[in-house]
Chain A
Amino acid sequence: MLARLTRSWIAVGTQSVGGGTSTLLLIRRLAVERERWLSAREFAESWALSQLSLGIHLVALAGLLGQRVAGWRGVAAAVGGMLVPAAAITVALTAGYEAIASSPLARAALAGIAPVTAGMTLATAVLLIRSTARHGRALAIVDVLVSIAALAASALLAVSAVVAIAAGAAVGAVALGRERPTSRDIQMG
């Protein structure tokens, strides 16, 4: 049972090239459609809880699902299965890249990869705002202003990341709580 569980999660970790949405879809297919550990509605609730977690949301989701199926051993099977082989692949790719990193061809490639990763980072910011900002124009404007304030504090005033995040947490707990996450937020991932 635990071996089967681990194998299922290894498949999730090694087949989801590119991470993010593709990983989430594979987990959903495994948990809701194939193994029927929980209903689509319960899965959405677990994903909503995962999005409240610190760090990588998909790890929290794997932990919650693993716990549901087989307690703490299930957590270890799910999280370990999803992450360890994927981390090994990541290390292998990194080592492979490092071996050619100083070649002129790799340096030229990096000159094109750098702006793309910068763009992807900005896109992550946009998607994060889109999935967390509340609906309704007034609330959404307030939320976007919080992001702009953090951007300005960091870029113009050199406020440290920790301080900006703590300020965001404080402002959020006091003023940004009204309106629960909607089903659209949950689907966004």
Chain B
Amino acid sequence: MDPLALFLVFLKASALSIGGLSSLPLLRAELVVPHIATDDQVIQAIAIGRISTGPNGLYVVSLGYLVAGFVGAGVALVAATLPPLVIVPIATVSRRWLLTTPVAGLVRGVALATAGLLAATSVGILQAAGATAWWQLALAAAGVALSVQGKVHPALVIAIGAAVGILLAR
């Protein structure tokens, strides 16, 4: 895939999502379905994004690197940086307008729809990885519980998954 096309895919995913991991359903639809990336790569990127420093949304940099090396990483970084910054000039000009009821509703609608898509994506990842053994389903449930509760560090949660995989999948 040429860099410009890849940039546009990442840009679209960022511009149509609200919040870091929210770009995942769009990226999966545009990269995994046409076989540009694999679900394994998506899983690796999410895990590395959680272990690495900085916003979780930087998982796209990992995915970009897996798909197209350093160019892919750079393209993904720029594409993820631009849409959030649109708020800066808008906020200086019309802070009031941003806090009106229709804007709040629009943002809420996008966030809620994205939440539904993320739920579908999580099931999709599980199916694509063939992760349906009892211990893998238990790990998925633990991943949900620990992440919602938010007391255990995400990097540690990933490490637990890796350790259990090494013990049981070999």
- What is A's interface to B at a CB cutoff of 8 Å? 13-21, 23, 48-60, 63-64, 67, 75, 79, 82-87, 89-91, 93-95, 97-98, 101, 104-105, 107-129, 132-134, 143-144, 146-155, 160-162, 164-165, 167-178, 180-181
Contact = CB atoms under 8 A, between A and B. Distances in A.
B25 A154 contact: yes
A119 B15 contact: no
Q: Is chain B's binding surface mostly helix, strand, loop or mixed? A: helix
B54 A86 contact: yes
29 contacts: A16-B54, A17-B51, A17-B155, A19-B57, A53-B86, A60-B85, A60-B88, A63-B85, A63-B87, A64-B91, A86-B58, A93-B52, A109-B162, A112-B160, A112-B165, A112-B166, A117-B143, A117-B158, A118-B123, A119-B145, A120-B157, A121-B21, A125-B119, A151-B119, A165-B113, A170-B109, A173-B103, A177-B101, A180-B99
Nearest to B128: A114
Contact of A119 (B73, B80, B141, B162): B141
- Size bracket of the B interface: 35 or more
A15 B15 CA distance: 27
A133 B104 CA distance: 11
A118 B103 CA distance: 31
A133 B109 CA distance: 9
B20 interface: yes
A151 B120 contact: yes
Contacts of B91: 49, 64
Contacts of A23: 54-55
B36 interface: no
Of A13, A53, A85, most buried by chain B (CB within 10 Å of CB) is: A53
Contacts of B150: 21
Of B43, B157, B161, most buried by chain A (CB within 10 Å of CB) is: B161
B112 A133 contact: yes
B55 A172 contact: no
A89 B118 contact: no
A90 B62 contact: yes
A149 B14 CA distance: 22
Of A23, A83, A118, most buried by chain B (CB within 10 Å of CB) is: A118
B116 to A, nearest CB: 3
Contacts of B37: none
Interface string B35-57: 00000100111111111111111
